[in-house]
A and B are shown apart, each in its own frame.
Chain A
Amino acid sequence: MDLRDIGVLIVDDEHAVRDSLRRWFKSYGCRIDVAADATEALAKFEHEKWDIVLLDIRMPGMSGIELQRRIKEIDDSIIRIMITAFATADTAVEALKEGAFDYISKPINPAQLDHIIRNAVEKRKLLAETAALRQTVEELAMPEEIVGDAPEFRRVLELVAEVARSDATVMIRGESGAGKELIARAIHANSRRKYYPIICINCGAYTEGLLESEIFGHEKGAFTGAQFTRRGKLELADKGTLFFDEIGNISVKMQMDLLRVLETKQFTRLGGERMVTTDFRVISATNMDLEQAVKEGRFREDLYYRLNVFRIEIPPLRGRPADIPKLAEYFLAKFRRSMSKAGFGFTPEAVEVLAQYRWPGNVRELRNVVERAMVVAKGDVVTAADLSLPFSDPCTPEVDSLEEMEKMHVARILHKAGGNIARAAEMLGIERATLYAKIKKYGLRN
């Protein structure tokens, strides 16, 4: 414990008392100031922050009790300790009811004051730690892997901010690996439920029986192997968020049970009789055509409408190509740290290959490709060859016309040649003059 960072303000109308308390706290290394009355004391708050205030209860003008109330309005976390020469039970109770931390009578017993101050500092430290933890939670509002400036992705983030404020049920649609769980976490982290857990269930990862037990929990003996009572995800998500990934994979029976829980917020564990009440917000996700599944009777329409109150569509990675280099750089930096490979970078060709690839596996695939490339790369740079993307010519552009294809190819070779016209012409197998003409035709900058 160190009191050197602590600011203490002493408010007492007696000079001798102010002086001796000032000397006492100075010997603890505190930052100290004094005030003779409430007006002077309140002025001290204009330019400085105080951690502890010792206030005499009886002063001319505004009393210590009233001053204590005013200080509480300024900052409720300031520790207020009342001092009085007239020790009565009434004044003590009144002060404590108003939120004073403690109460001490004059003449002060030094051991008692030392004890109170140590407790006060400990409390202040705990309050500061709690505030810092809350701040950390606030800062985690956007999971760091959510990277993107493309307009299509910014729109998704705007929707996240909008829906997070409410408790509305959200359905997230997007291809596999596009970031549906990340978006679910972002919604949770920006909601009023952020201090409670987000519980994720991958509905595609369990058999029907196991999924039922995962979601509802079970009582001891509910089935063979149920040796202990187990709380399910519905209970674990109480006051928080429940995220159903791959919601389209659940059976019709499970859909019915889930609908009932969503409507009543009550359920029993498997093998149990006691009704359990739980309060959670539901977010679900799927890459399936759920509307088609509803039409075909594979997914209940009433459950669909219950889950689909607010819809967020995440664009595939190829739908926001401007974000690909940013994401690649993000993963590179992340793996630099975890693999202790400082100074790693991409060659310009590698960046181009990344930008032009279709990414059927989306962000997850990009992450895996970057990680693998860093492992196999020789030296401290990832080349196009290190990326080992599935197509033989990963630079095949997504264009229809021959002219567009030629333009992109010439641009790529110019880049590869570092702007050297002679070298680029040699690589393309054409004359320099021909290359100059193509540069002019396509408006390419050298």
Chain B
Amino acid sequence: MRTILLAAIRPLRAVDLEGLDEALRKTFGAPVSLGESPIDVAEAYDSAYRQYDGAKLLTRLLERAPRDAYRILGVTTVDLFAPAFEYLFGEAQLDGVGAVLSTHRLRSELYGLPPDPDLLAERIIKEAVHELGLTFGLVHCFYPVCVMNPSTFIEQIDAKSRDFCRQCDATMRESRDRD
């Protein structure tokens, strides 16, 4: 059975991701198994950037994933970066198996606003769908409300929906049926 593994990375716990598994199941039409990843984020920490290397974290996630994993999405609270970039919302294997998503920059508090758990939950769903979409071979879409619209700043995430546009949906289904 092709199952999407949803892994909470410490200090995040599986219970913190309840609701996300159901949203992913509906979007991708595949069962979602919610669990906790044993990886230690400290392995991906970069003292020069004082952030966590998204590519390294993804590598660690994949190393510990089951061999026959259909898809795996790790969710972390730490702030991710890539060597060229100030920050990342997530990192994914394009047309691959794994992706990692950070909730750090999805929190309203980071932008001087009061905490908003519902908004945070919605943002997490959108970014989770986006990163998993990349693993299905989808690329960034310029249709503004498509979930595959690039996520480069928070307002861009809020402006899009959690759904694929017609073209991206067709591509995703084709990719899923091919797997």
Residues in chain A within 8 A of chain B (CB atoms): 1-4, 12, 14, 16-17, 19-21, 23-24, 26-29, 83, 106-111, 113-114
Q: How far is the CA of A16 from the CA of B49 in the complex (A)?
A: 14
Q: Are B86 and A17 in contact (CB under 8 A)?
A: no
Q: Verify if B111 is at the interface (C-beta below 8 Å from A).
A: no
Asked whether A114 and B152 contact (CB < 8 A) given A23-B94, A27-B94, A28-B139, the answer is: yes
Complex alpha-carbon distance, A1 and B22, angstroms: 33
Whether the Cβ atoms of B84 and A107 lie closer than 8 Å is yes
- Chain B interface residues toward A at CB < 8 A: 49, 55, 81-88, 91-92, 94, 134, 139-140, 142, 150, 152-153, 156
The answer on a CB contact under 8 Å between A17 and B84 is: yes
| Minimum Cβ distance to chain B for residue A32 (Å) | 11
> Complex: how many Å from CA A52 to CA B115?
40
Contact A17 B150 (CB under 8 A): no
- 27 CB < 8 A contacts A-B: A4-B139, A14-B83, A19-B83, A20-B55, A20-B82, A20-B83, A21-B84, A23-B91, A24-B82, A24-B84, A24-B85, A27-B94, A27-B134, A28-B139, A28-B140, A29-B140, A107-B84, A107-B85, A108-B86, A109-B86, A110-B85, A110-B152, A111-B152, A111-B153, A113-B152, A114-B150, A114-B152
Q: Give min CB distance, B94 to chain A, whole Å.
A: 5
**Cα distance, A446 to B81, chains bound together (Å):** 87
B134 to A, closest residue via Cβ: A27
Q: Find out whether the CB atom of A110 lies under 8 angstroms from the CB atom of B87.
A: yes
Give A89 Cβ to nearest chain B Cβ, in Å: 21
Instruction: List 4 additional A-B contacts (Cβ < 8 Å) besides A16-B83, A27-B140.
Output: A17-B84, A23-B82, A27-B134, A27-B150
Name which residue of chain A comes closest to B153, CB basis.
A111
What is the CB-to-nearest-CB distance from B58 to chain A, in angstroms, rounded to a whole number?
10
The A/B interface has a contact count, at CB < 8 Å, of 65
B83 cross-chain contacts in A, Cβ below 8 A: 14, 16-17, 19-20, 107
Say whether B55 contacts A110, CB under 8 Å.
no
Report the minimum CB–CB distance from B168 to chain A (whole Å): 11
CB distance from A340 to the nearest CB of B (A): 35
Which A-B residue pairs are the 9 nearest by beta carbons? A29-B139, A16-B83, A20-B82, A111-B152, A111-B153, A110-B152, A114-B152, A107-B86, A20-B84
Q: Which of A1, A24, A27, A113 contacts B142 (CB 8 A)?
A: A1
Closest beta carbon of chain B to A113's beta carbon, Å = 8
Q: With A3-B140, A111-B152 as known contacts, state yes or no: A26 contacts B86, CB within 8 Å.
A: no
Among A14, A26, A109, A111, the one with the most B-chain Cβ atoms within 10 Å of its Cβ is A111
Give chain A nearest CB distance to B140 CB in angstroms: 5
User: Which one of A108, A110, A111 has the highest number of Cβ atoms from chain B below 10 Å of its Cβ?
Assistant: A110
Q: How far is the CA of A110 from the CA of B150 in the complex (A)?
A: 10
Bound-complex Cα distance A20 to B87 (A): 12
The minimal Cβ–Cβ distance linking B156 to chain A, given in whole angstroms, is 7
Q: Which residue of A lies closest to B92 (CB)?
A: A27
Cβ contact within 8 Å between A20 and B94: no
Q: Does B84 contact A106, Cβ atoms closer than 8 Å?
A: yes
A20–B53 Cα distance when bound, in Å, is 10
* CB-CB nearest in chain A for B137: A29
Task: Give every chain A residue within 8 A of B94 (Cβ-Cβ).
Answer: 23, 26-27
Inside 8 A of B153's CB, which chain A residues have their CB? 110-111
Contacts of B86 in A (CB 8 A): 107-110
In the complex, A21→B85 CA distance in Å?
8
Considering residues B94, B142, B150, B156, which has the most beta carbons from chain A within 10 angstroms of its beta carbon?
B150
B81 contacts across to A, CB distance below 8 A: 107
Residues of chain A within 8 A (CB-CB) of B140 are: 3, 27-29
The answer for the CA separation of A12 and B84 in the assembled complex, in Å, is 10
Residue in A closest to B148 when the chains form the complex, CB atoms: A27
Which chain A positions have C-beta within 8 A of B92?
27
Q: With the chains together, A28 CA to B150 CA distance in Å?
A: 8
On chain B, the residues within 8 Å of A1 by CB distance are 142
- A139 to B20 alpha-carbon distance, docked (Å): 58
Q: Provide the residues of chain A in CB contact with B87, threshold 8 Å.
A: 110
B residues near A14, Cβ cutoff 8 Å: 83
Bound-state Cα–Cα, A1 to B139, Å: 13
Least distance between A8 CB and chain B CB atoms (Å): 13
- How far, in whole Å, are A29 and B153 apart by their CA atoms in the complex? 20
- Measured CA separation A17–B139 after assembly (Å): 21
- Beta-carbon nearest neighbor of B151 in chain A: A110
Measured CA separation A4–B134 after assembly (Å): 15
Contact residues in A for B156 (Cβ distance below 8 Å)? 111
User: Given the complex of chains A and B, what is the CA–CA distance between A63 and B38 in angstroms?
Assistant: 45
- Flag if A110 contacts B88 (CB, 8 Å): yes
Give the chain B neighbours of A109 by CB distance below 8 A: 85-86
